[in-house]
Structure 1
C-alpha cells in the first residue's frame, strides 16, 4: 500500500519533482487559495511564537548548563526551521520559477526520445526518489523520537517516576519552552505538551520539504550536466556524419543555451539557499559539539543518550546531503567541457572550430553552491565542520575536567 501511494506521487507535469511539489502544496508551504493561505500563515506564525518562547525559556534557565544546552540544541534547530519556512513562503515565486524550469527542460528532452539522454534522466529521477523517501523516513523517525523521548525517559527510571509522583520532579517535556502558566502539572502541562507536539510535527514537515526540494534540484543540475556533456560529445556524430554549417551552429547554440540557463537558475537557487545554509552551517557546528558533550556527560541517562544520538545523526545527515550533492554538481561542472573536446571537432571547418572554442570556454564556468559569502558547500566543508566540532568538544571536555 505504501508503494502504491508513493507511485501516485509521480506527476507527468513534474517528472523529477512530483513528490516534492505534492509535499510542498499539502504541507502548507505553497498555497493559492486565500482561506487556506490564511490558515497556513496562522500555523507559521504560531511556530514563530513558539521559537520566541524557547529563547525566553533559555534566558530563564541560563544558570543551569545542562538544561540550557538541551534547550539550545532544539531552539537552534527550531530557528532554522522557521527560516526555511519563511524562505519557501516569501520567495515561493522564485522557487516556482526554478521548478518550472526543471520540469519544462525534462519534458522537452523526454519528448525528443534520445535514448542516451532519456536513460540519464530516468537514472537521476530514480536516484532522487530514493534520496527523498529515505530522507522523509529519517525526518519522520526524528520527529517520533523527539515526541516519544519524554515517555521513554519516564518509564526507563523507577526513581524518576517516584519523584514525579511525589511532586519533587516535573513531568518530562518534549522541548523546553516558556508559557504563561505552570507547565509542570495539570492543564498547563497538557497545553504545553500539545503545543510542543504540534511544533515538532510542523518542524519535521518544513525540514523534509525544504531539504528534499533543494537536494533534488541539485541532483537535476548534476544530471543535466551529464546530458550537456553527452550532447557536446555528439555535436558532429562520429566525424563521418555530414553536418551543414547552419546545423552545426544550431547544435552549438543549443548547448550554449542549455549551459546558460543552468548557470542562471543555479545562481537563483544559490541565492535562495545561501543565507539559510550559512545559518545552518554555524548552528550545526555548535550543535554537533553540544550533542557530543551531552552524550559524554555522566548525568545523562541511557534513554536521553539514545535521543541525543538520533538527533545528532539527523544533524549530520542533513549537512552531508547538502555537501555531497553540491560537491557532485561542482565536480560535474568541471568535467562537462570534456564533451566538447571529445567531439569530432576535427571534422569541421575553421569557422565552426572557433565557435567550438568559445563554447568550451563558456563551459569552464563552474556551478557552485555556497553557505553565505564565506564558504562553499562541498565535502571539504563537511569534513572541516566535523573537525571543528570535535575541536570545540575537546576544549569543553578539558574545561569540565
Structure 2
C-alpha cells in the first residue's frame, strides 16, 4: 500500500507539471512518456490490491497436482515423465532470467535518470525536474532531496512494473508449457494405457484408456481456467497498457530525437524505450505462444494411435477434437488479442503518432 501511495503521489506531481507546461510541446513530451508509464503501473497495482484473493487463486492453481512437476506425465514412460519435468524446469529458469534481465534494464534506466541531472548540475546548467514540487531545488541541499525523491519514486515504479509484468508473463509461460506437456500426453495416451495394463493383473485396457483421456481433459480444462482467471483479473490493466503503449513510445521517440546522442539522457531514454518494448512484447509473445500451442492440440489428438482403440474411445476423441478446435486466445480486456500481430500494430501506431507530432512541431 505504501508503494501505491508513493507512486500515486509522484504521478500527481507529474500531472500538475504536465498541466503547467501544456503549451510547451518539448517539456510536455519530456513528462508525458514517463507519466503514462507510471499510470499503467498504478493501474496494475490497484488490480493486485483489489483482486488479491483471485491472484492468490492463480498462484495456488499453479501448484495443483495437474501442474505439479512431480506428477506431470503421470502414467507415462520414465522418458516422457523426465521430458515433462525438464520442460517445467526450463520454464522456471527462463522466467527467472526474464525477471532479472527486465528488472536490471529498468533499474539501469532509473540510475541514468539520476546521474544526468547531477552531471548537468556540476557543469553549471539549470536543472528542471519533470514533476511539480514546492521546493526550490536550486539550493544544493534541496536539489539532493528532490533528486532522491525522484530516484526512489521511479525505482518503485521500475520494480513494480517489471515484477507485475513478469508475473503475468510467467503465468502465460507456464500455461504454454503445460499445453506442450498435454500434447505429449495426448500423443502417447494409448502407449501409456498399455503400459499400465501390463503392470496390473486385473486391469482393463479400455477403462485405463478412458481414465487417462479424462485426466487429459481435466488438464486442458485447468489450463483454460487459469488463462480465463488471468484474463479476468488483469485484462483491464493490460488493456490500459496496450491503449497507452503506442503513445508512450511516441512521446519517448519524440523526446530522444532532441537530445545529444552521447548524453546520459539519450542513453536513459533508449533504455526506457527498450523497457516499454519488452513490456509490450512479453504480453504479445507469450499470449501468442499460448494460442499456437492450443492450436496444435487437434494435431496431437489425431497423432495418437487411435486406429486400434475401442469404438467408445474413438467417439470420445471426436468430442475432444471438436473442443480443441476452439483454441485459447488470450486478450486484453476481451478486446485486444495478445499476439505478435498486435505488437506490430502498436509499433506502427506509435510511429504514426510520432510522424504527426513532428509535422505539427
Q: What TM-score, normalized to structure 1? A: 0.80
Q: Please give the alpha-carbon distance, in whole angstroms, between the structure 2 residues aligned to 1:298 and 1:211.
A: 29
Q: Secondary structure at the match of 1:85?
A: helix
Q: CA separation in 2, counterparts of 1:136 and 1:239?
A: 42
Q: Report runs of 4+ in structure 1 exceeding 6 Å deviation.
A: 238-242, 298-301
Match among 74, 87, 109 for residue 123 of structure 1: 87
Helix, strand or coil: the match of 1:366?
Answer: coil
Q: Which residue of 1 aligns with 2:60?
A: 100
Kindly indicate whether the alpha-carbon contact (under 8 Å) linking 1:289 and 1:389 is maintained by their aligned counterparts in 2.
yes
Q: Which residue of 1 aligns with 2:38?
A: 78
Contact 2:110-2:155 within 8 A present in 1 as well: no
1:128 and 1:219 in contact (8 A); partners too: no
Is contact 2:182–2:216 with CA below 8 Å preserved after alignment?
A: yes
| Structure 1 position 317 matched with structure 2 position 278 | yes
Alpha carbons of structure 1 residues 128 and 107: separation in structure 2 relative to 1, 3 Å: closer
Segment of structure 1 superposing worse, 383-392 or 110-119: 110-119
Partner of residue 4, structure 1? none
- What is the deviation of 1:244? 2.4
Residue 147 of structure 1: aligned partner: 111
1:56 match: 16
Q: Aligned residue for 1:294? A: 255
Once the two structures are superposed, the pairs formed by residues 377-388 of structure 1 within 5 Å of their partners are 377-388=338-349
| Distance in 1 of aligned mates of 2:188 and 2:134 | 69
- 2:187 aligned partner: 233
Mapped pair 1:394 → 2:348: no
Which structure exhibits the higher relative contact order, with contacts defined as CA atoms closer than 8 Å and separated by 6 or more residues?
2
1:1-49 Cα shifts (integer Å, max 9, x gaps): xxxxxxxxxxxxxxxxxxxxxxxxxxxxxxxxxxxxxxxx233222222
SS of alignment partner, residue 146 of structure 1:
helix
Conserved in 1, the CA contact under 8 Å of 2:288 and 2:338? yes
Secondary structure in 2 matching 1:109: coil
Task: Output the CA distance in 2 between the equivalents of 1:372 and 1:124.
Answer: 28
State whether residues 7 and 42 of structure 2, in contact with CA within 8 Å, keep that contact through their aligned partners in structure 1. Answer: yes
CA distance in 1, matches of 2:70, 2:192: 25
- Does the CA-based 8 Å contact 2:69-2:84 persist in structure 1? no
Question: How has the CA–CA distance of structure 1 residues 313 and 49 changed in structure 2, closer, same or farther, with 3 Å as cutoff?
Answer: same
Residues 204-263 of structure 1: per-residue CA shift (max 9 Å, x gap): 221222111111111111111111111111221299776623222211211111111111
The answer as to whether partners of 1:132 and 1:216 remain within 8 angstroms in 2 is no
- Secondary structure of 2:62's aligned partner: helix
8 Å CA contact retained: 1:334, 1:366: yes
User: CA separation in 1, counterparts of 2:103 and 2:171?
Assistant: 19
**Partners of 1:124 and 1:111 in 2: CA distance:** 11
Deviations 1:94-140 (CA, angstroms, capped at 9, x unpaired): 11211111122224525948432432342343244234324423333
RMSD over equivalenced CA pairs, Å = 2.5
| Gaps in structure 1 of 5+ consecutive residues | 1-40
* Number of matched pairs: 350
2:297–2:324 Cα contact (<8 Å) kept = yes
The answer (yes or no) to whether the contact 2:105–2:275 under 8 Å persists in 1 is no
Deviation (angstroms), 1:75: 0.9
Match of 2:148 among 170, 175, 194: 194
TM-score, with length taken from structure 2: 0.88
Counterpart for residue 257 of structure 1: 218
